[in-house]
């Protein structure tokens, strides 16, 4: 995107009363770039003090998916261009915030589909339609969220349109209304007030609107002294995919000889390769890129002109991916599903949990969970790849359910989403699977099974907060019980025992512990032995889950 418009062009843009498709495209890019600069600020607004706040990342990845659809188009018709944008964000939507953002663009596109240019009146109408579509896309809309910010903004723009002489004034009003609404979100949603934060999704929307305005004002989109980091995330999956022809991964550490203009840096690198990531360290930068074999040294030569290269690493991507696939294939074997049978697509946060899902009959497993929510397109691809027209999706994470619901609306198959919010619920549902059973009966039984489980998730607090009457200090071990923060303590063992003591274990038979990837096997063995000694009447099982961020996931049934 051109960030240094001439004064003449800039004045003309500021005084515009309508925009063509390419101007709207640049405005969208500006919104995405400003969100990219600030997405970690959005992530930090996570209500729970857990190490997996990902609203900003999900919204960024959703915007990037839309941008990829329009980046190379020369379409000047606003309606046609926004239709491409809406399609991109729909398929790339990740997490609840990303899905709601995709509904925003779907409504915005619907209101402009026959418009060659974007007038100020059409912009106002499009915000109203975006609001309506976003609200309809959520089963139980909650005020004090991104929905409220969108609603208040749309109403303010509608009422103030007559006083706006040009788009610059209109976008100034848009941003002001969004910021004002955002500041009120803690008054509408008590959990935000308890945590001392504004709504993260609403903050992400404000960043996008601010990016729109910064485009009109020709302000930088890659510089914010308050930003928490400058690393743009191109993928949240643990396993990277590679595009055809991108044979090598090149990582370069370098010290720039003068101030690095990131926008120009990214633009030049995008001409060389893909999967670009840039991180800033103490006095140096690290650049990551995927390139074809005939451009292997192009990024290195380019960076040599910007400063001093201190370290270079080159890896053969094809060989890497083959090794990843080999290891993945050895992890578990999926049971083949035949036409007419019921296939289950399950989302799994760890390799050990994936093995369990496979052993219980899952036909396809998507890697994903906290901080790596799968996109609508990933879920849809898995559903459509099944050789049967009867499919069930297990999200196994509350932040994946909306994306799953989004995906099934795009499939011609008979698909149901079981509202499993965690791994134990997913396992409980799979225990009810009968691939040859009556589809409706199986769906109902799997959904009913979710109430049979008590789930505890044990992790470390990322910040100090008082929430739900629980005072938490940064670094303490905390317990989430069925989605609610319930206690903080000084050790994993104390957290595990305290969680179990909260339950009336006389009504349960089995305790299952899934250990995370950061846990040592000896420590887990000691924990399991402690639980067995304290509750000799209970059946106690341990499985390696391999999930990130959470020391333990505990299922009691």
Cβ count near 339 (within 10 Å): 9
- Looking at 1.25.40.340, 1.10.620.20, 1.10.3720.10, 1.10.357.10, the CATH number of the domain 7-216 comes to 1.25.40.340
Note every long-range contact of 271-277, with CB atoms under 8 Å and residues 24 or more positions apart, other chains counting: 272/298, 272/299, 272/302, 273/246, 273/298, 273/299, 274/243, 274/246, 275/234, 275/235, 275/240, 275/242, 275/243, 275/246, 275/249, 276/232, 276/234, 277/231, 277/232, 277/233, 277/234
59-98: string of b/e by CB count within 10 Å (b at 16+)?
bbbbbbbbbebbeeeebebbbbbbbbbbbbbbbbbbbbbb
pLDDT band at 230 (very low <50, low <70, confident <90, very high): very low
pLDDT band at 394 (very low <50, low <70, confident <90, very high): very high
Q: Give the integer Cα–Cα distance in Å for 485 and 478.
A: 7
Nearest to 421 by CA among 372, 350, 481: 481
Q: CB–CB of 177/19 below 8 Å?
A: no
| Assigned fold of 248-322 | Alpha-Beta Plaits (3.30.70)
Q: CB–CB of 416/443 below 8 Å?
A: yes
Nearest to 403 by CA among 90, 110, 142, 148: 90
454-556: CATH class: alpha beta
Q: Is the pLDDT of residue 331 over 90?
A: no
Q: Is the pLDDT of residue 8 over 50?
A: no
Domain boundaries, the chain: 7-216, 248-322, 332-452, 454-556
Q: Is the pLDDT of residue 237 over 60?
A: no
Q: In this predicted structure, what is the pLDDT of residue 10?
A: 56
How would you class 226 by CB atoms within 10 Å of its CB: exposed for 0-12, middle for 13-18, buried for 19 or more?
exposed
How would you class 51 by CB atoms within 10 Å of its CB: exposed for 0-12, middle for 13-18, buried for 19 or more?
middle
pLDDT band at 515 (very low <50, low <70, confident <90, very high): very high
Q: In this predicted structure, what is the pLDDT of residue 101?
A: 95
Average the pLDDT over each of 25-39, 103-117, 272-286, 383-397 and give the range with the smallest value.
Answer: 272-286
Which has the higher per-residue pLDDT, 393 or 250?
Answer: 393
Nearest to 552 by CA among 539, 526, 7: 526
347-359: string of b/e by CB count within 10 Å (b at 16+)?
bbbbbbbbbbbbe
Which has the higher per-residue pLDDT, 497 or 55?
Answer: 497
Residue 213 makes CB contacts below 8 A (sequence gap 6+) with 168, 171, 172, 174, 175
Q: In this predicted structure, what is the pLDDT of residue 282?
A: 58
User: Counting runs of H as helices and runs of E as strands, what totals does the chain give?
Assistant: 20, 18
CA–CA distance from 392 to each of 127, 280, 359, 552 (Å)? 35, 43, 16, 27
Q: In this predicted structure, what is the pLDDT of residue 172?
A: 97
Longest dimension (CA), the chain: 80
Q: Is the pLDDT of residue 57 over 90?
A: no
Q: Give the integer Cα–Cα distance in Å for 210 and 223.
A: 13
**471 HSE (CA, 13 A, CB side):** 0
Q: In this predicted structure, what is the pLDDT of residue 33?
A: 92
Q: In this predicted structure, what is the pLDDT of residue 53?
A: 62
Write the pLDDT tens digit of every residue in 35-53: 998 988 898 887 777 766 6
Q: Give the integer Cα–Cα distance in Å for 459 and 82.
A: 42
Write the pLDDT tens digit of every residue in 269-321: 888 888 787 766 656 777 888 888 777 888 888 898 888 888 787 877 766 65
Write the pLDDT tens digit of every residue in 426-463: 999 999 999 999 999 999 999 999 998 999 999 998 88
Nearest to 106 by CA among 132, 71, 68: 132
Bridge partners of residue 557, in order along the sequence: none
Average the pLDDT over each of 80-84, 111-115, 322-326 and give the range with the smallest value.
Answer: 322-326
Q: Is the pLDDT of residue 2 over 70?
A: no
Q: In this predicted structure, what is the pLDDT of residue 502?
A: 93
Q: In this predicted structure, what is the pLDDT of residue 13?
A: 67
Range 332-452 classified under CATH 2.40.50.140: no
Mean pLDDT of the chain: 87
Q: CB–CB of 104/136 below 8 Å?
A: no
Residue 490 makes CB contacts below 8 A (sequence gap 6+) with 476, 477
Q: Give the integer Cα–Cα distance in Å for 270 and 171.
A: 30
Mean of pLDDT values over 409-422: 94
Write the pLDDT tens digit of every residue in 475-486: 899 999 998 999
Q: Is the pLDDT of residue 7 over 50?
A: no
Q: Is the pLDDT of residue 243 over 60?
A: no
Q: What is the H or E stretch that residue 286 is in?
A: strand 285-291
Q: Give the integer Cα–Cα distance in Å for 424 and 456.
A: 9
Mean of pLDDT values over 460-468: 85
Q: In this predicted structure, what is the pLDDT of residue 240?
A: 42
Write the pLDDT tens digit of every residue in 163-220: 999 999 999 999 999 999 999 999 999 888 888 889 999 999 999 999 999 999 989 8
Residue positions counted in the chain: 557
Mean of pLDDT values over 512-529: 93
Q: CB–CB of 105/91 below 8 Å?
A: no
Mean of pLDDT values over 216-226: 77
**Percent of the chain's residues with pLDDT above 70:** 89
């Amino acid at each position: 995107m051109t960030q240094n418009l001439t004064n003449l062009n800039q004045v003309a843009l500021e005084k515009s009363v309508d925009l063509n498709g390419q101007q709207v495209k640049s405005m969208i890019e500006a919104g995405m770039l400003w969100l990219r600069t600030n997405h970690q600020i959005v992530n930090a607004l996570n209500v729970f003090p857990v190490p997996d706040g990902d609203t900003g990342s999900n919204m960024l990845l959703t915007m990037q998916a839309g941008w990829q659809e329009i980046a190379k188009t020369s379409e000047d018709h606003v309606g046609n261009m926004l239709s491409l944008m809406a399609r991109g964000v729909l398929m790339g939507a990740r997490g609840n915030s990303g899905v709601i953002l995709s509904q925003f663009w779907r409504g915005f596109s619907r209101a402009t589909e026959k418009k060659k240019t974007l007038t100020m009146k059409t912009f106002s109408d499009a915000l109203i339609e975006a609001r309506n579509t976003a609200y309809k896309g959520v089963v139980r809309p909650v005020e004090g969220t991104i929905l409220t910010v969108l609603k208040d903004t749309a109403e303010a723009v509608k009422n103030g349109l007559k006083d706006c002489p040009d788009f610059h004034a209109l976008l100034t009003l848009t941003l002001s209304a969004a910021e004002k609404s955002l500041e009120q979100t803690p008054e509408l949603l008590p959990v935000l007030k308890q945590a001392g934060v504004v709504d993260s999704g609403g903050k992400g929307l404000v960043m996008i609107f601010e990016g729109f305005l910064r485009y009109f004002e020709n302000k930088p989109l890659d510089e914010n002294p308050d930003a928490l980091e400058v690393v743009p995330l191109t993928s949240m999956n643990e396993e990277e995919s590679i595009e055809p022809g991108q044979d090598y991964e090149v990582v370069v550490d370098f010290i720039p000889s003068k101030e690095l203009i990131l926008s120009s840096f990214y633009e030049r690198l995008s001409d060389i390769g893909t999967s670009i990531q840039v991180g800033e360290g103490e006095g140096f930068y690290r650049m990551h890129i995927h390139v074809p074999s005939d451009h292997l040294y192009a990024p290195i030569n380019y960076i040599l002109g910007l400063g001093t290269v201190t370290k270079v690493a080159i890896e053969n991507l094809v060989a890497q991916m083959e090794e990843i696939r080999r290891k993945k294939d050895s992890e578990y074997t999926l049971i083949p599903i035949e036409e007419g049978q019921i296939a289950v697509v399950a989302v799994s946060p760890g390799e050990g949990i994936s093995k369990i899902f496979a052993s219980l009959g899952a036909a396809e497993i998507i890697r994903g969970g906290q901080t790596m929510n799968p996109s609508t397109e990933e879920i849809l691809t898995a559903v459509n790849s099944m050789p049967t027209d009867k499919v069930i999706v297990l999200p196994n994470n509350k932040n994946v359910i909306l994306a799953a619901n989004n995906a099934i609306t795009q499939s011609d198959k008979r698909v149901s989403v079981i509202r499993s919010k965690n791994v134990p619920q997913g396992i409980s549902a799979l225990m009810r699977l009968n691939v040859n059973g009556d589809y409706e009966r199986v769906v109902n039984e799997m959904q009913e099974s979710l109430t049979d489980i008590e789930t505890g998730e044990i992790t470390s607090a990322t910040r100090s907060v008082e929430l739900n009457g629980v005072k938490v200090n940064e670094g303490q071990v905390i317990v989430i019980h069925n989605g609610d923060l319930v206690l903080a303590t000084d050790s994993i063992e104390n957290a595990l025992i305290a969680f179990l003591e909260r339950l009336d274990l006389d009504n349960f038979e089995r305790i299952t512990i899934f250990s995370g990837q950061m846990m040592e096997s000896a420590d887990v063995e000691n924990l399991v032995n402690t639980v067995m000694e304290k509750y000799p009447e209970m059946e106690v099982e341990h499985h390696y889950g391999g999930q990130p961020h959470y020391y333990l996931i505990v299922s009691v049934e």
